[in-house]
Amino acid sequence: MKPFRDLPMQKKMTRMTFVIVGSILLVAIAGLFTFQVVNFRASFQTDTETLTAVIANNSTAALAFKDVGGGNEVLGSLKDVPTVESATLLATDGSTFAKFGIAEDAAALAQFPPGAGAKFSGADLLITHPVVLDKKNVGTLLLRANFKRTFLNLLGIYTGVVLGILTVSVTLAVYLSGRFQRVITDPVLHLAQTAQKIGQEKNYALRAEVESRGDELGQLTESFNEMLGRIQEQDAALGLSQKRMQVLINSIDGIVWTCDPETLRFSFVSRQCSSILGFSPDEWIVNPGFWEAHLHPEDQARMVALRREYAQAGKPYTCEYRMVAADDRVVWIRESGSVMAEQGKASAMRGIFLDFTEQKLAADELERLNRRLRDTSRQAGMAEVATGVLHNVGNVLNSVSVSATLVGDRLKQSKATNLQRATAMLEAQKGRLGEFLTNDPKGKLLPEYLIAVAKHLTEEQAALLAEMESVGKNIEHIKEIVAMQQNFAKVAGAYENLPIAALVEDSLRINAAAFERHRINVVRNFDPATPTIFADRHKALQILINLISNAKYAIDSQPENERRLTIQVAPAGPVRVKITISDTGIGIPQENLVKIFNHGFTTKKDGHGFGLHSCANAAQEMGGNLMAQSDGPGRGATFTLELPVARDHQSDPAANAPSNS
C-alpha cells in the first residue's frame, strides 16, 4: 500500500473521511452505549418491581379465597416474561400457596429481603412484595428475575446496531465523499473539530453546525448535538453539585473530614484545618496517627476509645475535647460525626471539627460572672427586704405624723379658750350672779353656752384619745416590723419546715400600712389543706415582700374601687406548694414577659433590675420556681411562686437545702 501522503487527493479525502466519521461515530455511540448500560440495571429493577406489583395485585382474590388454582394461573402469566425465573406466593403463615418457574427451597427463599423490598444477588434481582386487600396483608409475593440474559441480548442488539450504524455511516461517507467532497467533508470536519474542541476544553455547551437536516449526516450531527445536550445536563448537574458541595465545605467555619473507622486514618480534610489548627490537609492525610498525636494529653486516651465506640455503634454522635495546634495553642474542638455502613459494617466516618474555644472560654467566664451575680443578687435581695421594711416603717411613721398634726390642729382650735372667757365672766359677777343669770341678756345665754361647750369638749377629748390610740397602735406596728425583720435576719440561710400561710401573713403585715394608705383591698384565699414548706424563711420572705411591693406599685395608678390584690395559697401537686399573687394593676406587655426575670431589666424609673432576678434565683436555690403571666397592659398580672413541701431530714437543714445546679 502506498504511503498516505502519496495517495490521490480523492482517496486521501475518502480515507480521512472514513477515519474521522468512524472515530466520531465511535465516540458518540460509545457515550450513548455507556449511558444505556449504566441505566440498564436501574431500569430493569423499576420494570420488574412494576411487574411484581401488578402480579401481587392480581393475586389478592386468589389468596383471599384460598384459590390455589387461581394463584397458579396468575403466576403462570409470567411465562411470557423471559427474565422471570421464579415466582412464589406465600400465605400469611409463611407456607407456599402457589409457585411458578424454578423450585425455590427454604435456603433460596431466605435470600429474599424481609418485609417489602428488592435486592440484587449476583445476576438475579430478588423482590419481596406484600399482597394487600383492603389494607390487610393477605400474603407475600417473592419474584426472582435474571437480568443476565436480557443484558446479553441488549448487548447483542447494541452491538448489531453499533456495527450497523458504523457500517452504514462509513459506507455512506465514503460513497458521498467521492461525489460531494466539500458538501460531506466540511460538515464532518466541522463535527470532528467540534468533538476535538469539546474533548480539549470539556465544554459541552458547544454544538456542531447542522447544515442539512434531511440526510444521515444531518441526523448524525443532530444526534451528536442531542448527546452533547444530555452530557451537558449531566455534567452541569454534577458540576453544580460539586460546586455547591465545595462552596458549602469552604463556607463552613470548621474542618470537614473523612476517616477510616478501623485505623482512624484520615482520607479527606478540608482546608480550614490550616486556619484553625495551623496544619495543612496533607499533613493530616499522609501521617496515619496525626489526629491521635495532636490530641491534648488529658483527652487522648478517652477520645481514641470513644471514637472506636462511635464506629461500633454506627450512630451520629457529638463530643468535645482539646487539640494542640501547630503553635502549641490549646483549641477546644466540638466534633460531630456519623458512621457510614455497608452490609452492617462501618465503612467510613465523616464529620466536622468546630473550633469553640472562644465560646468555651466565654462560658467559663460567664459561669464565673454568674456566681458573682448570684452573690450580688442575693445581697440585693436582702437589701430589698430591708428596703421594704424601712419603706413600710416610713409609711407607719407618716401615719403617726399625720395623727400628731391632727392633734395639734385640734388643740389649737379647741373651745377651751372660750370656756375660760365664760368663767371670767362668772367670776366678775360674784356679788350679783343670780340677777346676772336671770335678768342680763348675756347671763341668760351663758348656761346654754356652757352646756354646748362641755359637749364639744367631750367630743374633742374622744377624738383626741382615738388619734392617740392610733398613734400607739402605729408605734406598736413599727416595733413588730422591726422585731420581725430581726427575727428573719437571725435565721437567714437555714432551711426549715414553715407554714406558708403564716409566712404570707407576715409579708402582708409588713405592707399593711401601705395597703391602708393606698386603699388597696387585699383578698386572701388560703387552702387549709396546704402542707408546710421546706425553705429558707428569709429567702421566702424576700420573694413575697418583693412580689407584693411590685403588685402595690402596679395597682397604685388604678381607680380606688379597682385596687385589689388577691393572694392564693394551695397545693401544686404532691411535692409542691404554690403561692399566687394577682393584681388588677397596669399589666405587663407580652414582649416584657420573656425578659422580666433577666438581670438588670426594670420598668421603674428608679429601679435597678435586681428584684425579680434575685427572687427567681432564690426560688431556684430553694428547689422551686417563679413564673409570671399577664394578658397585656391594663389587664393586671399574676406571679406564681412554687416551693417544695416539707420533708423529713435528720441532719442540719442547711445541709439538706436544694442545690443550685
Indicate the DSSP class of residue 114.
S
Rounded Cα–Cα distance for residues 433 and 438 (Å): 9
Rounded Cα–Cα distance for residues 244 and 69 (Å): 57
Backbone angles phi, psi at 609, to 5 degrees: 80, 15
Rounded Cα–Cα distance for residues 329 and 220 (Å): 65
Instruction: Please report the pLDDT score of residue 186 as a whole number.
Output: 65
More confident residue, 49 or 481: 49
501 CB-near residues (< 8 Å, 6+ apart): 526, 530, 569
Backbone angles phi, psi at 565, to 5 degrees: -120, 120
Cα-based torsion angle of the residue sequence 236, 239, 243, 249 in order, rounded to the nearest 10 degrees: 140
Written as one letter, the residue type at 453 is V
Residue 577 has pLDDT above 90, yes or no: yes
Residue spans per domain, the chain: 19-153, 252-355, 363-481, 493-656
Residue 490 has pLDDT above 50, yes or no: no
Protein fold of 19-153? Beta-Lactamase (3.30.450)
More confident residue, 487 or 340: 340
Backbone angles phi, psi at 619, to 5 degrees: -65, -45
Of the candidates 643, 638, 637, 395, the residue with the CA atom closest to the CA atom of residue 541: 643
The band of 417, judged by pLDDT with boundaries at 50, 70 and 90, is: low
More confident residue, 309 or 610: 309
pTM of the model: 0.33
Stretch 321-342: mean pLDDT: 89
Rounded Cα–Cα distance for residues 62 and 524 (Å): 76
Average pLDDT, the chain: 76
Q: Dump pLDDT digits (tens) for 272-316.
A: 888 888 998 888 888 888 888 999 999 888 988 888 888 888 888
Written as one letter, the residue type at 12 is K
The two domains 252-355 and 493-656 share their CATH topology (first three levels equal): no
Beta bridge partners, 353, equal: 255, 335
Residue 491 has pLDDT above 60, yes or no: no
Residues belonging to the chain: 661
Rounded Cα–Cα distance for residues 517 and 388 (Å): 15
Written as one letter, the residue type at 231 is I
Per CATH, domain 252-355 is 3.20.20.70: no
Q: Dump pLDDT digits (tens) for 114-129.
A: 888 888 888 788 888 8
Cα-based torsion angle of the residue sequence 30, 33, 38, 41 in order, rounded to the nearest 10 degrees: -160
Instruction: Please report the pLDDT score of residue 638 as a whole number.
Output: 92
Q: Is residue 391 a contact partner of residue 485, using CB atoms and an 8 Å limit?
A: no
CATH tag for 493-656 (out of 3.60.15.10, 3.30.565.10, 3.40.1190.20, 3.40.30.10):
3.30.565.10
Exposed e or buried b for every residue in 394-410, given b needs 16+ CB within 10 A? ebbeebbeebeeebeee
Stretch 253-257: mean pLDDT: 84
Rounded Cα–Cα distance for residues 114 and 119 (Å): 11
Please return the burial class of 342, using the count of CB atoms within 10 Å of its CB with bins 0-12, 13-18 and 19+.
Answer: exposed
Share of the chain above pLDDT 70, in %: 67
The overall longest dimension of the chain from CA atoms, in Å, is 184
Q: Is residue 614 a contact partner of residue 381, using CB atoms and an 8 Å limit?
A: yes
